[in-house]
Amino acid sequence: MVRVMASGVFDILHPGHVLFLQEAKKLGDELVVVVARDSTAAKMKHKPIMHEEIRRFMVESLKPVDRAVLGHEEDMYATVEDIQPDIIALGYDQKFNESEIERKCRERGLEVKVVRLPKLGGGDLDGTRKIIYRIVERAGELYAKDRNR
């Protein structure tokens, strides 16, 4: 049984997320996804729009995902210790160093292989920020249209 761990914020689910999780699942038999806590996401990326428990629920509902958990707020390696993965799958844009993760895991007695997945399609709405910008753009168009009535 090969356990794969993937992680992310997963704020507004989009095709890029689904493709990432599908590819991560192909690396093993079980896929456990760590969803970043609201506080962690705010520090590392942006303040999430969706609450952490809603994001966790949404991710766990996806077909490739066997289980979704919330990460530890202070120590990401505590989450790795809890899950005990054989492989950690990283997205192409995640700001982690593969060999650094492997080294820190070894220091904790964990033998983990880290795999960086390539950028996978997803279309023009394959990023949360892209979706937000498109919504704002369309809202502006609707507002202008309504004002001209």
- Tally of structural domains, the chain: 1
Range of the domain at 68: 3-122
Could you tell me the CA-to-CA distances from 76 to 81, 96, 135 in Å, in that order?
9, 12, 32
Q: Give burial (CB, 10 Å; 0-12/13-18/19+) of 111.
A: exposed
pLDDT tens, residue order, the chain (149 aa): 999 999 999 998 998 899 999 999 999 999 999 999 999 999 987 899 999 999 999 999 999 999 999 999 999 999 999 999 999 999 998 999 999 999 999 999 999 999 999 987 766 656 777 888 888 888 888 878 788 77
The letter for the amino acid at 82 is D
CATH number at residue 22: 3.40.50.620
Structure tokens at 107: 């220091």
pTM above 0.85, yes or no: yes
Q: How wide is the angle at C-alpha 85 spanned by C-alphas 82 and 88, nearest 5°?
A: 115
Residue 7 located in a structural domain: yes
Residue 113 located in a structural domain: yes
